[in-house]
Each structure stands twice: as C-alpha cells, then as structure tokens.
C-alpha cells in the first residue's frame, strides 16, 4: 500500500492500529495462532493478508458501503485505495473456510454463572431457530441455494437457510449452520450437535421436536424445553401436582406401540383466557426434559419458554440493523458463506461492546441499544489513532454505549402483518432477466413526428 504525503510504513502502522482496535474488541490474543498457517498459503501483492482478513470482516460491519469505502475505514486518509476488482480478488483468495474458523475462534458465550446473565437455575439458556437470507440473484447462487416457490412462480431472490444456536441472555449468535433454502431446519440443526454442551437448557419451536434431537441433547447432558404441535400423541403416564404430566417421546410409531426406545419427558398443557391476546382459547403444549415439578413448576417454565423470542430479536439485529442492505452482495456461493460469517463476527463485536456496557450501566445486556452501539462503533473506529491507546479508546466506546439504555419491555403484542403487500409495478419474472439492449445511441433512435 502506497501513500501520498506519508510513507507506506507509517500508513501501514495506522492501519494496523485500527485493526488492533477490532482485535481488542474481540478480546482474543491468539487470533494469529489460529490463522497463521492459513494466512501463509494465501497472498495478494496489493493488500497484506492480515489487512485482507479484516477487510472481509468490514464487509459485514459496513455492509452498505462499497468495497473501496470499506477499505478506507481501515486505512488513514491519503492511502492509495485498491480498485474494486482487486478487493474482489482479495475476497476470493481468502475464501470462506478461513473466515468460518475466525468466526468460531472469536465468537464466544458471554454469560457466566457468576454474572448470572442468561441462566436459569444454573443452566445456560440457549435458543435454536432458523432464518433465511436473500442473496444476489446470480445463476451460481440459484443453483447452489435455490429459491422459494409458490404455486405460480419463484421468489425474487435465491435464499440461504441458516439455523443458529444463540445465547438468549446476551443475543450472541454463537454457532450457525448454512444450507440450501429447501434444506430442513432439523437437518441443519444436526450440524450444530457438536456444539451442545453440558448444562445448556435449549429452547426451541415446535418444528424441532423429534426423538433424535431430544436424545442428542440429553446424551450431551443438556436439557430442553420445546413447543409441541397440538395434534401430537403423547400418552399420560403420571399426572403431577402442577397439572403437567409424565409422557414419553419415541424413536418411531412402532416403538411407541411396543413402548420401547423412548425418552421420558414432561408435558405442560395450557391456554390463555384473554380475548385480546394471540392464541386465546387454543391449546398450547410444551415438552421438557425437566421432570421435577417441584424444582421446575409448570407456570415458571411457561414464562421461561417465551425467552426463546430473544433469538428472533438477535436475528433481527443481524438481518435488519447490521446488514443495512436487503440483499447480500456476493454473486457466488463461497462468497455468500464468507459474507454471512463476516456478518456473524461483526454482530459479535457489537454484542460484546453492549455486554461490557451493560455491566457498567447495571442492566441486562438486552437493555443496551444494539443500533446505537453499532453506530457508535462505526463512527469512532477512526478515532483510535487520535487517542493512541486502544484500551482507552475501547473504554470510551463502552462508556458511550452504557448511556444507550432502552426502557424495559412492556406487556404488549403486535400482529404479524405487512402494511403494504402489493405494488403498482408488474412482478419481475424469469423472462425479464437480461433484457435485450438497444443497438443504437438514444439520439439516433429519435423520430420527430410532423
């Protein structure tokens, strides 16, 4: 990297100081140890490899900006900025496996039994759910990931389906599996089994209730609390004092008939009696591996289950507030995966700052505004070179974020509807892709009518 007005050496020093600020936010001293071998196998003459890696993280952090502008966030004023084609080549050389390993290296669980954030009776609250991401409409992305389809036509964009294991108390999206749009959420969750740990209480929606998933969680010494479809047959073996009952989930229908290969579960059935509340009068059922009704009362678990929605809020932070563009920019599948992992790293950076700010403000991490913290970090990254001390800079960021405390949530509901569902324009279909272009200049095609 050459610089005008300053030497290339001093320019690189400023760049590395900004990168050091990002590393300090992530809080891992052994990043180079995890990345060193992979970095040595990739080379780009115009951009140092370490700068290239953090440029890709910047693609997630500054997703609405063009490549050259993202590069400027990492480099001082006056530095020669590579062209967009060069930066595109940088992304190809790095690949997605390296960024995936970086994501697994730095994204970590923040709640502890000591600070009590996101725990229930000594168990860490984890949520599992899925979400989709709209992708650039290229031939490669359509072939690799597929598109949603109804009875008449395909959806406007290819989509990748993701299933994530999130820490509910801190909104940290800890581990994520990426697959095709038509790949089932249960199938993707199987890729996350290796990350289940002892002492986790996993909260899941009704699409995840299966013998295999329940057995895997119990086998790894975890617990689960899952919503169940109302039409599922769950035999009553014993009724508890709180109204819940002992039942069993089987590997197959034949095993259920023979009463073998089953897992003991506790079933909680309830309804709502407030007409203005969604689900009023309907049967709601929860299935849990927490069998002790004295230690884990039914009404307590019903209230606890609704914390599963924190995972949805974490996905909203990632998809709406962090990813400021509606569609990922990558035109090829490897770039898509790389960009998603870059977004996950960037999301953790903001969540880590919010977590530290919550300790200073004396509130739970979810009370710190994600959007405000994100904007503070974006606007203050360049100031690390002015302040000179990375630790001091980081503390100033945390102090500023600690002032962005949002009010406690009120007991309210909102219908899941769209305000605008139609458009005055004709829907774009496959026949509209790559239309024929004019063969003459505009002025040559003008015919004045006399």
Contact 107, 96 (CB under 8 A): no
Confidence grade of residue 414 (pLDDT, cut at 50, 70, 90): confident
DSSP reduced 3-state for 389: coil
Characterize the bridge pairing of strands 200-204 and 123-134.
Answer: parallel
Contact 144, 225 (CB under 8 A): no
Indicate if the alpha-carbon torsion angle 310, 379, 89, 66 is positive or negative. Answer: positive
Task: For 425, list phi and psi in degrees, rounded to 5.
Answer: -95, 150
Q: How many CA atoms lie within 13 A of 165 on its CB side?
A: 26
Domain boundaries, the chain: 8-109+352-401, 119-313
pLDDT tens-digit map of 133-158: 999 999 999 999 999 988 777 888 99
pLDDT tens-digit map of 306-349: 999 999 999 999 999 999 888 999 999 999 999 999 999 999 99
* Measured CA distances, 214 to 150, 240, 402 (Å): 32, 21, 39
**pTM to 2 decimal places:** 0.89
* Measured CA distances, 5 to 17, 76, 209, 237 (Å): 19, 11, 63, 80
pLDDT tens-digit map of 350-381: 999 999 999 999 999 999 999 999 999 988 88
Indicate if the alpha-carbon torsion angle 229, 170, 347, 218 is positive or negative. Answer: negative
Confidence grade of residue 40 (pLDDT, cut at 50, 70, 90): low
pLDDT tens-digit map of 189-244: 999 999 999 999 999 999 999 999 999 999 999 999 999 988 888 999 999 999 99
Q: At what angle do helices 390-401 and 333-361 cross, to 10 degrees?
A: 80
């Amino acid at each position: 990297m050459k610089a005008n007005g300053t030497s290339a050496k001093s320019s690189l020093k400023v760049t590395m100081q900004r990168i050091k600020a990002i590393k300090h936010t992530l809080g891992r001293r052994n990043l180079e140890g995890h990345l060193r071998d992979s970095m040595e196998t990739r080379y780009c003459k115009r951009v140092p490899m370490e700068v290239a890696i953090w440029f890709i993280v910047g693609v997630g952090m500054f997703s609405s900006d063009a490549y050259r502008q993202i590069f400027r966030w990492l480099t001082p004023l006056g530095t020669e900025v590579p062209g967009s084609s060069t930066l595109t080549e940088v992304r190809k050389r790095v690949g997605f496996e390296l960024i995936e390993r970086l994501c697994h290296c730095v994204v970590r669980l923040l709640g502890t039994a000591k600070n009590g954030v996101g725990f229930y009776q000594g168990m860490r609250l984890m949520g599992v759910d899925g979400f989709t991401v709209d992708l650039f409409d290229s031939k490669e992305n359509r072939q690799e990931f597929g598109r949603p389809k109804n009875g008449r036509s395909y959806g406007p964009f290819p989509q990748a389906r993701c299933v994530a294991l999130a820490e509910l108390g801190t909104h940290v999206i800890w581990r994520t599996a990426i697959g095709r749009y038509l790949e089932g959420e249960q199938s993707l969750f199987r890729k996350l089994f290796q990350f289940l740990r002892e002492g986790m209480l996993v909260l899941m929606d009704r699409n995840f209730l299966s013998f295999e998933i329940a057995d895997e969680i119990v086998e790894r010494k975890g617990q689960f609390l899952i919503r169940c479809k109302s039409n599922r047959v769950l035999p009553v073996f014993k009724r508890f004092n709180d109204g819940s009952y002992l039942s069993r989930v089987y590997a197959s229908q034949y095993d259920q008939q023979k009463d073998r290969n089953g897992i003991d579960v506790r079933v909680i059935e309830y309804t709502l009696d407030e007409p203005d509340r969604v689900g009023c009068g309907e049967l709601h059922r929860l299935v849990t591996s927490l069998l002790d009704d004295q230690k884990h009362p039914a009404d307590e678990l019903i209230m606890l289950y609704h914390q599963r929605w924190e995972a949805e809020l974490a996905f909203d932070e990632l998809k709406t507030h962090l990813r400021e563009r509606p569609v990922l920019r990558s035109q090829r599948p490897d770039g898509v995966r790389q960009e998603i992992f870059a977004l996950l790293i960037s999301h953790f950076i903001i969540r880590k700052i919010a977590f530290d700010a919550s300790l200073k403000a004396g509130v739970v991490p979810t009370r710190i505004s994600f959007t405000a913290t994100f904007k503070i970090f974006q606007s203050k990254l360049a100031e690390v070179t002015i302040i000179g001390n990375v630790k001091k800079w980081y503390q100033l960021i945390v102090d500023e974020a600690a002032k962005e405390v949002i009010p406690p949530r009120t007991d309210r509901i909102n219908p899941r509807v769209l305000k605008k569902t139609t458009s005055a324009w004709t829907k774009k279909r496959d026949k509209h892709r790559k239309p024929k272009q004019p063969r003459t200049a505009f002025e040559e095609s003008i015919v004045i009518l006399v």
